Amino acid sequence: MQLPTLPPSLLPALKHVMRPLVRLMLKKGVTYTRFADLLKEIFVDVAEREFRLDDKPPTDSRISLLTGVHRKDVRRLRAKAVGRAAGPSEDFSFGAHLVSVWLNNSPFCERPGRPLPLDRLASIGGQCSFDGLVAQVSKDIRARVVLDEWLRLGIVRMDDQDRVLLETMAFIPTRGFDEKAAYFQHNLHDHASAAVHNLTEDGAPFFERSVHYDSLSSTGVDQLREAVSAEGMQVLIGFNQLAAELEARDAPNPNARQRITIGLYFYTEPNPSAVPNPTTASSS
């Protein structure tokens, strides 16, 4: 088997991409040894799942050749069946769905994108209550449990009329590392998957665009940050409303369902060595 030629630009790109991830690991106590063990599992799992010939599982020897992982380790890791691809957690999916219903579905919103304050109890607000909202999405989860957790995470707040007010236009916890890590896992994975597809696959690329400047003042950056927060959120709300309408109008066969992720991000850092550049827009 002939291995593909390594593009000379790939390793420098990977080195640059890994820097913020290594920064996170060092801040949270993940050592090189621990991450190397994890990376070995991922190499073996991806090779086993995505590099098959004629849809047959590859042998230990072929995985070892593809990955550079010793055959003894390949055999051990496959026997453990670790590193399986994981989707969003149930809490993540439930929370995102619940906020989407609140934002887009009657009687919980004034109009799509304008969520109403909800009476906490169904005994007061009837169907148009937080109890009613949770019951519409799941009969197995108590509304009080969801409310307590969402208050802790800063997703909702209570007013003096015992009504529940949505504090965010998406299920994005402001507190709680585990909850934020679920979004980190989901969003970064899907962004990276789109970028890797565009680098390696033929056919139509996924949409992936960015605008970047390197000679802005801190005042200009603050103004852009506010514009992205306000206007970018409106763009995402519009996509959310369209997705909700399409999901309700064009329900697919259960075996043909697809998921999507649409993202928007903003980042800034000091750039003391920048050379003034009028404007740069790039795409992958």
Chain segment 22-80, per-residue pLDDT in tens: 999 998 888 999 899 999 999 999 999 999 988 898 999 999 999 999 999 999 999 88
- pLDDT of 186 > 70? The answer is yes
| Predicted pLDDT at 165 | 95
- Cβ-contact 136, 101 below 8 angstroms: yes
Is pLDDT above 80 for 280? no
d(CA 103, CA 143): 17
**pLDDT higher than threshold 90 for residue 139:** no
Question: With bands split at pLDDT 50, 70 and 90, how would you rate the model's confidence at 145?
Answer: very high
**pLDDT above 90: residue 281:** no
Contact 56, 48 (CB under 8 A): no
Strands of the sheet with 118-119, listed across from one edge: 118-119, 163-166, 156-158
* φ and ψ at residue 254, rounded to 5 degrees: -55, -30
Task: Look at residue 256 in the predicted model and tell me its pLDDT.
Answer: 85
How do residues 239-265 score in pLDDT, each as one tens digit? 988 988 888 888 788 888 898 999 999
Check residues 152 and 218 and name the one with the higher pLDDT.
Answer: 218
Residue 241: count other Cβ atoms within 10 Å of its Cβ.
16
- Mean pLDDT computed over every residue of the chain: 86
Residue 86: predicted pLDDT: 52
